[in-house]
Amino acid sequence: VTSFLATVTTTSRVRFCSFETGMAEEEERGPGSVFQMFVLMEDLLDKLKVLDYEQHVLDKHNIKPLSRHYFVSSPHVLSNPGEQFYMFSVIAAWLISLCGRPFDTPQEYDDPNATVSNILSELRALGGQVDFPPSKLKSGSGEHVVYVLDQLVEKALKSKGFTWDRPMYPSVEVEDECVQEDDAELTLSKVEEEMTEDEEYEEEDGLDLDTLKTRTNQISDVDAAEWNLEVERVLPQLKVTIRTDNKDWRIHLDQMHQHQEGINTSLQDAKGCLFKLREDISKTLEKVSSREKYLNTQLEHLISEYRQAQAQLNKVKELYQQASGGVTERTRILAEISEELEKVKQEMEEKGSSMSDGAPVVKIRQSLTKLKQELEQMDVRMGVVEHTLLQAKLREKNNMTRDMHATHLLEPNTQPY
């Protein structure tokens, strides 16, 4: 793994240098910059595997393994911003803690702005460069998320003392192959030509028996060992290559027969293996069934106890649900009472503030003084009215007495008539 990652990291470091210096110039980097994030994500995943993130992060938080392009922002990749941001914050917190800086693991319901701000501040403290707004990380995917994680994983590897070794390439031994030249091989056409030339030469010159006898005598004088050496030396040059025509039906027929024979032989071997495998599987199934029956008989009392415990658990769950329903109702009543209590407290505070304030008392005193003055004025007016009324009554009484005297004086004068 180390040798493989060494080659990958060499290219990834070069790419990250261009990523850091030219993040804002994405359009000027060429058409391949769109897919650069996929390569960076694969490098990041390899580095996380070097730090054994499966055991320390995935198993601890019960999370599924990351895909090769998990943090890539692309229309061709499925995205889940909430899940990706939570995964990003958890991995970043773990990497920061590996660098020797205490950092609490964020929770799902924490404030995203505070989480991103804390991560970026820790990255700056570790010497990383951050020249983009924190809002770029809230989506949980994209080149900025991959950049931050890569910076943190590089710092974690450095703090762990991990170094990249040079790649070790396996040594491949190349065997020397004897390459024969095409001129050394005789084709069928050349052999036929030579045979026709020999026949024509024999027809023209005839068969010389004396020459044949002398040749036989010369051959008989040759040593057998030398003859064999000569045969071995000349044998590669006597190789005849027959060029076959693929369109010939006889060749296809021979190939069909050969394939049929191969299939039959392979079928016989496979049948034997399959029959043996079937017997082994049947024996294993019998053993499993017998073992299962034995376990059922041995664990029957435990199963009954488990069923009783399960029934009790169901009863307890029902009681818990009933109790939780009562708790919910009481919680609602408590909320209403708390709301009323808050209103009463607010009214008491308002009354207390008004009682401690002296302005209303001053206003009351001024109102009382004003009322006293108005009452005095009313008493004076009432006295004037009573005096006027008394004078009117006296005037009316005097008029009545005068009228009565006038009447008495007139009565004696009227009696003689």
Q: Please, which pLDDT band fits residue 14 given cuts at 50, 70 and 90?
A: very low
What is the average pLDDT value for the chain, to the nearest integer?
76
Q: Rounded mean pLDDT of 212-221?
A: 53
SS (H, E, C) the chain: CHHHHHHHHHHHHHHHHHHHHCCCCCHHHCHHHHHHHHHHHHHHHHHHHHCCHHHHHHHHHCCCCCCCCCCCCCCCCCCCHHHHHHHHHHHHHHHHHHCCCCCCCCCCCCCHHHHHHHHHHHHHHCCCCCCCCHHHHCCCCCHHHHHHHHHHHHHHHHHCCCCCCCCCCCCCCCCCCCCCCHHHCEEHHHHHHHHHHHHHHHHHHCCCHHHHHHHHHHHHCCCHHHHHHHHHHHHHHHCEECCCCCCCHHHHHHHHHHHHHHHHHHHHHHHHHHHHHHHHHHHHHHHHHHHHHHHHHHCHHHHHHHHHHHHHHHHHHHHHHHHHHHHHHHHHHHHHHHHHHHHHHHHHHHHHHHHHCCHHHHHHHHHHHHHHHHHHHHHHHHHHHHHHHHHHHHHHHHHHHHHHHHHHHHHHHHCCC
Least confident range from 166-170, 215-219, 286-290: namely 215-219
Q: 245 falls in which pLDDT band (50, 70, 90)?
A: low
pLDDT attached to residue 31: 58
pLDDT digits (tens, 9 = 90+) for 274-298: 999 999 999 999 999 999 888 888 8
What pLDDT does 28 receive?
52
Mean pLDDT of 321-333: 85
Q: Mean pLDDT, to the nearest integer, of 153-172? A: 75
- Better pLDDT: 284 or 224: 284
Instruction: Return the pLDDT at 23.
Output: 47
